[in-house]
Amino acid sequence: MITTTRMNTRTNNKCPIDIVTGFLGSGKTTLLGNILREGEFEGASVIINEYGKAGLDHRLIRRVKERTVLLAGGCVCCNRREDLIAELKNMLNEHQSGAISLDRVVIETTGLADPAPILFSILTHPLLVHHYYIETVAVCLDAVNGEMHLENNPESVKQIAAADRVIITKTDISTPENLERLRQRIVQINPAAHIQEAVHGHVSVPILTPVTGLLASRRATNQPPRDEKSDGSAAGHATNIRSMAIGFDEPLDWLAFGIWLSMLLQKHGEKVFRVKGIVDVGEDGPIVLDGVQHIIHPPRHLEDWKDYETRQSQIVFIMRDIEPRRIMDSLTAFQHLIGARPEIQEINLEPFA
């Protein structure tokens, strides 16, 4: 059933992992329960970190207690989630001994969980990285309390930054104005996130599928950037999040770009919440780049550009405490190595101002 470009480019046979996260009470479990009743996800195994009230009956559910191992000298994103590693290994063993079929794994995290350590645990594990890949990170945000979470909880902002899809839940008990304001905030934090709304825990489009295209949400809603000031209740600590989208006038030299990005992440990885983009390297298809803090997914080479509107590189950066201008200055100085001149396509300075 998984006929995505991601699988097509690989001759190997990895199992997709979808991560569903979001604050307590944001409707993760309800949403998950509904999704899992759909045919496509019948073969999915589910790992959850907490007991929810909503029923996820008659299916393979593993409950694991969160066990995080702090690695010496590592930053917050580079923690290992031993619980998940152990459970994913178990599943692999059971699959290989024929006890279970392993089509897909869905991980539901606790409300406060930062998705970065989950990605880090899987993508840097010498065994797991060969058997699993992360397909989608979906974040649930409650339409009623979402804004409050974003303003008061840096964790919530990090979740949005790490998301491929943001699902606004409880839209049925919110007002259209609130909903609109929340959508705009999400787009300003993460211009690459795909935003969907859920009514009574149901979404019209399957959410656990890979997102194609960048900056889709802004284009779809066609809204001008927000210019009015809010009521001033925004918390100070969240105002240093910046997001930007950069395009390039020519195909990039992937080798040189890799040098630049690895150098940037070595120095500033903790402040770079997300790097997501499609890169034209002058071949038939683009390279899909996706990174959360220090962790870069194995870059994927697509066969063609059919999922995208134009054949052009586009990279979204979400950062804390780094001025977008400094990234532009750096890419401009590196342009002779990288082979292309950067140009700003979108910039969001003060998502909470």
Partner 1 sequence: MCILCGELVMHVHWTDQKTHDREYSNTVVVGELQRDRMRDRLRRVRYVNQILSFYGLNFKDWNGSRYLLSDRKGRQEVVGDLGALWPEAQKMSGNRIDPLDPELLAYLGGHDHHHDHDHAHEHPHE
CB nearer to partner 1: pick between 77 and 167: 77
Residues 28 to 57 in contact with partner 1, rule: CB under 8 A: none
Measured in residues, the chain has a length of 353
Does the footprint of partner 1 cover residue 284 (CB under 8 A)? yes
- Residues with Cβ within 8 Å of residue 13, at least 6 apart in sequence: none
What DSSP string runs through 163-216?
A: -SEEEEE-GGGS-HHHHHHHHHHHHHH-TTPEEEE-BTTB-SS-SSS---SSSH
Residue 71 binds partner 1 (CB under 8 A): no
What are 168's strand-pairing partners?
141, 197
Among 1, 86, 112, 255, binds partner 1 (CB under 8 A): 255
Instruction: Please report how close the Cβ of residue 286 comes to partner 1 at its closest, in angstroms.
Output: 10
Radius of gyration of the chain (CA): 20
Contacts (CB under 8 A) with partner 1, residues 98-137: 124, 126, 129
From 8-16, 56-64, 181-189, 340-348, span contacting partner 1 (CB under 8 A): 8-16
Measured CA to CA, the distance from residue 84 to residue 265 in angstroms comes to: 25
Q: Would you give the binding string for partner 1 spanning residues 321-340, x where CB under 8 A is met?
A: -x---xx-xx-xxx-xx---
Query: Could you give phi then psi for residue 289, rounded to 5 degrees?
Result: -110, 135
- Contact between residue 256 and residue 173 where contact means Cβ atoms under 8 Å apart: no
Stretch of residues binding partner 1 (CB under 8 A), selected from 29-37, 42-50, 239-247, 265-273: 265-273
Q: Which residues bind partner 1 (CB under 8 A)?
A: 9-11, 124, 126, 129, 254-256, 258-260, 262-264, 266-268, 281, 283-285, 287, 291, 296-299, 301, 303, 322, 326-327, 329-330, 332-334, 336-337
